[in-house]
Amino acid sequence: MSLSPDSLPPALGKIVQRFQRASDPKRRYEQLIWYAQKLPEFAQANKVPENKVPGCVSQVYVTATLNDRKVIFAGDSDSQLTKGLLALLIEGLNGLTPKEIIQLNPEFIQATGLNVSLTPSRANGFYNIFRTMQKKALECDAKAQ
């Protein structure tokens, strides 16, 4: 594993370390549920097709806005576990610049160990959420130019 939590943005590095310490899949799930519960309320008005994450079994929505050249994400999902994955990414990526988000390697997902705990469709959904967030960061960047 070439990726160390130190090579990640600080918030994301902390999350990766937290999941690395939870070697038991049940603990990882409990952490995901905890993240899901921490996620702020998402406005119903934002649950529109352009905010929907493609390729997810669950309904997942994510928005990105630029605040002082930093990306701020918000989102929601109808599944607690998927919402936890989304919340983990939001916490890990919020406050980064579009460029930092676009350059992130999705290998950090494997570093959490979650990919082995998740069903293939959930693991795939995790990547899709991450890719959508990168795409939205890119859109924010383009609008700011």
In 3D, which of 30, 38, 47 has the Cα closest to residue 94? Answer: 38
56 annotated active-site: yes
Contact 21, 112 (CB under 8 A): no
Active-site pick, 8, 36, 56, 87: 56
Question: What tokens were used for 29?
Answer: 């799930």
What DSSP line would sit under 53-78, residue for residue? PTT-SS-EEEEEEEETTEEEEEEEES
**What is the Cβ-side half-sphere exposure of residue 32, based on CA atoms within 13 angstroms?**
23
β-partners of residue 75 are 62
How many separate helices (H) and strands (E) can be counted in the chain?
Answer: 7, 2
- Give the Cα separation of 32 and 66 in Å (integer): 26
Report, as residue numbers or ranges, the catalytic residues.
56
